[in-house]
Amino acid sequence: MASARDIKRKINSVSNTQKITKTMKMVSAAKMRKAIEAMQSARPYSAKLAELIKELSNRAGGNAEHAFFEAKEEVHTIYLVVVTSDKGLCGAFNSNVLKAAYNFTKENKGKTIKIVPVGKRAFDFFAKRGFEIVEKWIGFGGKYTFNDAVNVGRLISKSFINGNADEVHLIYNEFKSTSSQVVRSKKLLPLAVESGSEPKYPDFEYEPDVTVLLDSLLPQFINTSIFQSMLESVAGEHGARMVAMDNATRSAGEMIKKLVLNYNKTRQAAITTELLDIVNGAEALK
């Protein structure tokens, strides 16, 4: 049985841990507010750009003339962009994405899967399992800029156009609420746009023409999709960490209560033993 001194030492240790988890929760809450604002500001632009791409593609008379729409007859090589965090202590946030990405590699068994990790957790996971890493983006600490997304987009776009990648897929966490993040998986390239639908907007005169405009917007659409996934992931990471640290703080509090109760029992038992020794000693002197 542990002594009162050992239990007291455990109480102090758990109390210090509780202070750390409580502080981390407050830090994540502050960062999450800013991350949500950035994410929500980018969502309308991403949605409107996707809508514009669809509209212009239909007006261009189909999508077969554009390299980003050309589906390969046989898919041999797939680039998989996996967005995670650099740090842990955020519950199942990273493990859910990594599980979905790993299942994707199993579903495409027989094809060459090359990983483009955005976040240290994704890089460590796939590097340990022997997957080929095309290029990694780690150490940003969630502070992504649009230029970072442009760099990722430029890599996958060139690889697709040059034939190094037959398809490009993206897996990330979409932010729903503080306690809820949903894993999303979507094909970035080749782009799939419904053709033949009724135009949503009146026809305009394009200078020089709609095809040139579409060619300039397609890379922007890829970059925006990647940047949006980064922002969603950052917001989800802070939300998941805030919940995880809150649970850890509560668990530490419950543990402290049990340790204090155990400490009081042990201390009471020690006092009782000392009293019995005194009484027995007094009886022996009679």
Average pLDDT over all residues of the chain = 88
More confident residue, 191 or 188: 188
90, 170, 231, 235: the active-site residue? 90
Strands 167-177 and 180-189, by their bridges, are antiparallel
Whether the predicted pLDDT of 275 surpasses 60? yes
- Beta carbons within 10 angstroms of residue 170's beta carbon: 24
Q: Which residues contact 108 (CB under 8 A, 6 or more apart)?
A: 78
Give the confidence band of 63 by pLDDT, cuts at 50, 70, 90. Answer: very low
- Beta carbons within 10 angstroms of residue 16's beta carbon: 10
Give the confidence band of 62 by pLDDT, cuts at 50, 70, 90. Answer: low
Kindly state the tokens that stand for 215: 């060619």
What was the pLDDT predicted at 203?
66
Whether the predicted pLDDT of 85 surpasses 90? yes
Whether the predicted pLDDT of 278 surpasses 70? yes
What was the pLDDT predicted at 67?
84
Instruction: For residue 117, say if its preceding peptide bond is cis, omega within 30 degrees of 0.
Output: no
Nearest to 80 by CA among 105, 107, 109: 105
What was the pLDDT predicted at 118?
96
Strand partners, 117: 82
What was the pLDDT predicted at 271?
78
> Percent of the chain having pLDDT more than 70?
92
Whether the predicted pLDDT of 235 surpasses 80? yes
Write down the domain spans for the chain: 22-244
Give the confidence band of 276 by pLDDT, cuts at 50, 70, 90. Answer: confident
How does DSSP classify residue 177? E
257 assigned to active site: no
3-state helix/strand/coil string of the chain? CCCHHHHHHHHHHHHHHHHHHHHHHHHHHHHHHHHHHHHHHHHHHHHHHHHHHHHHHHHCCCCCCCHHHCCCCCCCEEEEEEECCCCCCCCCHHHHHHHHHHHHHHHCCCCEEEEEEECHHHHHHHHHCCCEECCCECCCCCCCCHHHHHHHHHHHHHHHHHCCCCEEEEEEEEEEECCEEEEEEEEEECCCCCCCCCCCCCCCCCCCCHHHHHHHHHHHHHHHHHHHHHHHHHHHHHHHHHHHHHHHHHHHHHHHHHHHHHHHHHHHHHHHHHHHHHHHHHHHHC
Q: Of 5-14, 15-24, 46-55, 264-273, which range is least confident?
A: 264-273
Calculate mean pLDDT across residues 156-176.
94
Give the confidence band of 196 by pLDDT, cuts at 50, 70, 90. Answer: low
103-120 burial, b if ≥16 CB within 10 A, otherwise e? ebbeeeeeeebbbbbbbb
What was the pLDDT predicted at 157?
94
CATH H superfamily, domain 22-244: ATP synthase, F1 complex, gamma subunit (3.40.1380.10)
